[in-house]
């Protein structure tokens, strides 16, 4: 079970100094980015024993011990639990893992202990399997195949810790091998996960683990063809939605896992109708409003970004499938547009990437909805958005799109935007080095100018002519054409 407040603690056990920690993190980040580019971004989780969580500097037993432990297990009578406990620690070592699975009948032994009558041995056996599942060697996954039907069966058992270990073990191995994934699907992992979440809503640690496992399943290759249809057909979508609101005592972790599952579904699936019908957009957007408010107030748990991020993505992608007529019923609350606007500011300097994603959602909100564009003006958000226009790396281009969406709807909106100072803002953005900003600024200027002759006059009064003239000498032909057209057809005539 994962607690954010334990993160520092664990990480601190491995690195001696803060600097080492930073270095390690930076390396890890680089590796993750490369993995993502290679479309191979997968992570595993390791649950530690309670007693282990205090001391990670414990020296793990060497490789030779694995062999002797195995022999001891095969022959001993009553001490099996102790040997298993030691074995599970030994199996933390990657080379020990390889040695173990190559021993004849090693997995057979483990499975036997996993399913035997001694409950304590079962627990230790699943710990051993869990260590194996966390291995960097992908061959481990197939080696664990004999255990999977039992692991799945145990998901409907009652022992919390045991169930958690089963779930994380399954979650760790399914992205490693197509064979394993196929087998798990055939063995009914999806209904098993669904009932895990459904029946254990009082037990959030298990819900979190199930969410993680489902997420892993959704990251597998060909998930779109093989996994997602099954998931959408099951009761999982509604289960996931029901867990989204974080429990104040337990924390964000289960909601985080479920939200990321929903993101995997909405960003891969082409057909969102089922999810929309189940109220996914409604739920995610109202949660965003409340979380967003808390973020802005500075009133949140550590790590709330991990929940806000997938929620933003779900809303953004679901909006792209939602017919505009249905928007008001789906969204329920036009305050989403205000919440999102403030969220951009809240993330601007802490997580600029999330500020960018929020701006994307704003674009999808305002693209075709006159009602929401009107709300944006009513809530006086346009000046706020204009304050964002200096910020690069994808933020200002998206925000300018939002303003363009508003201008595109009605003449009255253009006039209002002009009153609120959009022309001055454009006078600045037209001079930016980023050509996309210049092109988009010209587009917005065009819409403004054709909507009212007063706007053209205002633009000229504010000294806009010289900018347009300069733009006629720009490198890009498309940019020059637009400036010329504006000058010749609309300003100077």
Partner 1 sequence: MMLQPDLVQFMAVGGGQAHNSNKEEEFSEATEQQEEMRRRQTEEGNPFIFSPQLLRLHRDHELFEDGDILRHMYLQDLFISEAEEQPTTSVSEFACHISGCRVVFSTLDEYEHHYNSLHRHVCCSCRRSLPSAHLLDIHLQEWHDSLFIILAQKQDMYLCLVEGCGQKFRTSQERKDHLIRVHKYPPDFRFDKNRKEKGTRDTRREQRTDTAMEAADDVSRSEGVCEVMCSVQSNQHEQEESMEAHASSEEAARIEDNSASAQTLETSTEALKLKYSYRVPKTVCFGQGSVRGFRGQRGRRK
- CB-nearer residue toward partner 1: 130 or 401: 401
CB of 405 to partner 1, least distance (A): 4
* Residue 472: strand, helix, or coil: coil
- CB-nearer residue toward partner 1: 102 or 485: 485
- CB-nearer residue toward partner 1: 33 or 102: 33
CB of 188 to partner 1, least distance (A): 25
CB of 382 to partner 1, least distance (A): 16
| Residue among 282, 420, 305 at smallest CA distance from 352 | 305
- CB-nearer residue toward partner 1: 86 or 397: 397
- CB-nearer residue toward partner 1: 119 or 353: 353
Length of the chain: 493
C-alpha neighbours within 13 Å on the C-beta side of residue 51: 3
d(CA 340, CA 54): 41
Task: Answer for the pair 167, 155: CB distance below 8 angstroms, yes or no.
Answer: yes
CB of 392 to partner 1, least distance (A): 4
DSSP code string of 297-329: HT---TTTHHHHHHHHHHHHHHHTTS-HHHHHH
Task: Answer for the pair 213, 167: CB distance below 8 angstroms, yes or no.
Answer: yes
The DSSP H or E segment spanning 102 is helix 94-102
Long-range contacts of 192-198 (CB under 8 A, 24+ apart): 192/152, 192/155, 192/156, 193/155, 193/217, 193/236, 194/234, 194/235, 194/236, 194/239, 195/155, 195/156, 196/155, 196/156, 196/163, 196/167, 197/236, 197/239, 197/240, 197/243, 197/258, 198/235, 198/239
CB of 224 to partner 1, least distance (A): 7
Residue showing tokens 């993190």: 25
CB of 228 to partner 1, least distance (A): 11
Q: Which two tokens stand for residue 321?
A: 């499938």
CB of 295 to partner 1, least distance (A): 12
CB of 114 to partner 1, least distance (A): 26
- Classify residue 283 as left (phi > 0), alpha (psi -120 to 50) or beta: alpha
- CB-nearer residue toward partner 1: 73 or 437: 437
- CB-nearer residue toward partner 1: 13 or 279: 13
- CB-nearer residue toward partner 1: 21 or 82: 21
């Amino acid at each position: 079970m994962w607690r954010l407040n334990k993160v520092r603690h664990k990480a601190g056990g491995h690195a001696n100094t803060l600097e080492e920690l930073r270095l390690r993190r930076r390396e890890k980040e680089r590796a993750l980015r490369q993995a993502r580019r290679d479309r191979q971004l997968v992570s595993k989780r390791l649950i530690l024993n309670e007693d282990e969580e205090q001391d990670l500097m414990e020296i793990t037993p060497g490789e030779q011990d694995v062999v002797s432990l195995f022999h001891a297990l095969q022959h001993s009578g009553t001490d099996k639990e102790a040997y298993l406990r030691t074995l599970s620690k030994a199996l933390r070592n990657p080379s020990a893992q390889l040695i173990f699975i190559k021993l004849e009948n090693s997995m057979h032994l483990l499975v036997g202990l996993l399913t035997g009558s001694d409950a304590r041995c079962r627990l230790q056996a699943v710990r051993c399997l869990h260590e194996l599942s966390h291995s960097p060697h992908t061959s481990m996954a197939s080696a664990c195949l004999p255990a999977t039907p039992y692991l799945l069966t145990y998901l409907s058992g009652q022992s919390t810790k045991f169930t958690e270990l089963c779930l994380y073990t399954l979650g760790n191995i399914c992205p490693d091998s197509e064979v394993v994934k196929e087998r798990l699907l055939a063995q009914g992992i999806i209904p098993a996960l669904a009932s895990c979440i459904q029946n254990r809503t009082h037990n959030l640690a298990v819900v979190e683990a199930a969410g993680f496992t489902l997420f892993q399943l959704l990251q597998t290759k060909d998930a779109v063809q093989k996994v997602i249809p099954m998931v959408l057909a099951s009761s999982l979508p509604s289960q996931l939605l029901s867990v989204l609101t974080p429990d104040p005592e337990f924390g964000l972790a289960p909601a985080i896992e479920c939200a990321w599952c929903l993101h995997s579904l909405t960003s891969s699936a082409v057909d969102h109708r089922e999810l929309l019908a189940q109220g996914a957009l409604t739920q995610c957007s109202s949660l965003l409003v409340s979380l967003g408010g808390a973020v802005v107030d500075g009133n949140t748990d550590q790590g709330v970004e991990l929940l806000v991020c997938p929620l933003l993505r779900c809303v953004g992608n679901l909006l792209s499938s939602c017919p505009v007529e249905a928007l008001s019923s789906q969204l329920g609350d036009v305050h989403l547009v205000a919440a999102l606007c403030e969220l951009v500011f809240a993330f601007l300097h802490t997580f600029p990437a999330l500020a960018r994603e929020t701006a994307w959602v704003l674009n999808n909100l305002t693209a075709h909805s006159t009602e929401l564009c009107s709300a944006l003006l009513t809530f006086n958000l346009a000046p706020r958005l204009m304050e964002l226009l200096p910020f690069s790396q994808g933020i200002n281009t998206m925000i300018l799109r939002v303003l363009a969406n508003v201008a595109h709807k009605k003449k009255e909106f253009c006039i209002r935007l002009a009153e609120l100072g959009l022309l001055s803002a454009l006078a600045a953005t037209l001079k930016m080095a980023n050509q996309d900003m210049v092109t988009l600024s010209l587009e917005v200027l065009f819409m403004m100018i054709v909507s009212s002759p007063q706007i053209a006059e205002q633009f000229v009064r504010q000294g806009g002519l010289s900018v347009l003239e300069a733009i006629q000498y720009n490198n890009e032909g498309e940019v020059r054409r637009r400036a010329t057209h504006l000058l010749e057809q609309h300003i100077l005539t």
